Structure 1
Amino acid sequence: MPELPEVEALARDLSQRLKDRAIVRVDIANFSCLKTYDPPVSALAGAMVESVTRQGKFLVFDVGGTYLVLHLALAGWVRWKDEVPKLPAKPNSKSPLAARIVLDNDSGLDITEAGTRKSLALYVVRDPAEVEGIARLGPDALSDDFTVDVLGQVLADAGRAQIKGVLRYQSNIAGIGNAYSDEILHAAKMSPFKPANSLTPEELELLHATIKAELGAALARADGLAASELKGEKKSNMRVHGRTGEKCPVCGDVVREVSFADRSLQYCATCQTGGKPLADRRMSKLLK
């Protein structure tokens, strides 16, 4: 899933490409992605793109005061096309194409989603705050408003909930997902199962600084890259996330995994849990 650094880099790149271009039409190829009906998608036709910005993990296109809001979910992506087909995209449930934005110079964007689980969401609204996911966003992880005190309050309010889940929940902190929460906790040498309200003042300071540093560094690497390069850049710089079975680049121990629902987390036992492997509840059930 694209997270704060990739979505911010996408927003900056697309804002340069689309600013002051008029939208000719928006084709919906998979109707399940469109979550609103008023205003209609046709309201975007003929209007100028004024900006593309990010709110949390949402892309927000300001199209003449009407907003197209996009959440890429687990497997969505945006692909720039120097030239798009003349004919409108036809609905096709088997195609990865979810929607297409056609611009006045025949260029445009293909919004795609891989796999059979369709979670990508597209909204056309008069105000981005009409999108529930945006309305309930917590402070942005890279904003000046996200201070040590704010993080401390988030963790205190979460009680003994596992810190991994607290970091990922967008109403707590906007922008951090499964991948960067793994990377942040590894860099801070904290167990993903650590109770949120158990941090010492020193650990709180360290976690806050690590969040800023990890996301800031990832954004610096991603900024200026084309959309086609962002996924590879993200993956190549992960130390533990997606590295199950490989060596931890810090200590050389094996990177381990815990599975839950349709997700998994990766961590280093030596760096994060005093050498003790975490219980994988799903695997434990299979062994019984």
Structure 2
Amino acid sequence: MALLLPLFGFLCGLGLASTQFSAALKPLFASLLARFFIPLVIIYTMVFYQAGSLSLMIFSFVVAIFMFYAFHFIFKDKLRALCVSYVNLAWLGFPFALALFGPEISAAMVALYVGGSIFGNIWAVTAVSLDVQPLSMVIKKVALSPPVFALLIALICRIAGLQHLQQHDWLDIIYSFAKVGMSFTGMCVLGMWLRHTKVHAEDLLRSGKIFLIKIAVGVVVCSLTYFFISIPNIENYIGVMFLLFCLPPAANIVALETHYQGTGTSAKYIASGTIISCVVVMLYGVVLHNLVPNL
């Protein structure tokens, strides 16, 4: 079932892309995902906090910073470095994680998403903007972003003692609904987006080379973290931590680039990266299920 739902969403997206409703549905689904389903999952997960979540947030944030400056050194291009470090944890990361690891990985994925989102809200505008961004504007953008706002709501709920409820079946139902909606809408947007995206062979080859480097870095970083950094339940989380290095560039990079620079160069990086990422995640899933048959 965990695999069928994302596949169904993706096929629905491919079908809907050819209809007259696609232009309205794509931003609607993307908005539902980012502003409704994911915040609901964040609130539930943080109210019923699991050990290790804060460490995973820091891991995601630090990895993104490291990847940005490492690839900026390689490419001498902030935009390309951003496309490597700011990954699509929203409408691709969550569906992929649920499909590969099941719903029990939601807490870890939420923590990784929050860390990555904070990085994106700080570094993305800075990387694409031609002008220096005031610190006050950066802080305001981070504070008002959906994941951080959801964390604030979760904190208020914990202060109110919601985590001590003995019976919270209605919350569980809302949480389950949000996870289904998150997986379906994410993959549906992917299907609609890829249906009309043109990618050339050289774009795929370039993205393939970048992913080989990312995966190599991921193996090293995750191995060092596993053996030398104390993170509660890391043996259950290490698989989804490595998933960070398999994800494509965040789709909103091209919107930011268009707004601040008037160009859309990152579109080809995002499109080719998304296609290669789908292949990489599929291969990762095959390896995981062969190594851990009961996964």
Judge same fold: TM > 0.5, yes or no.
no
Please state which structure has a larger fraction of its residues in strand. 1
| Short-chain TM bin | under 0.3
Q: Which structure carries more helix by proportion?
A: 2
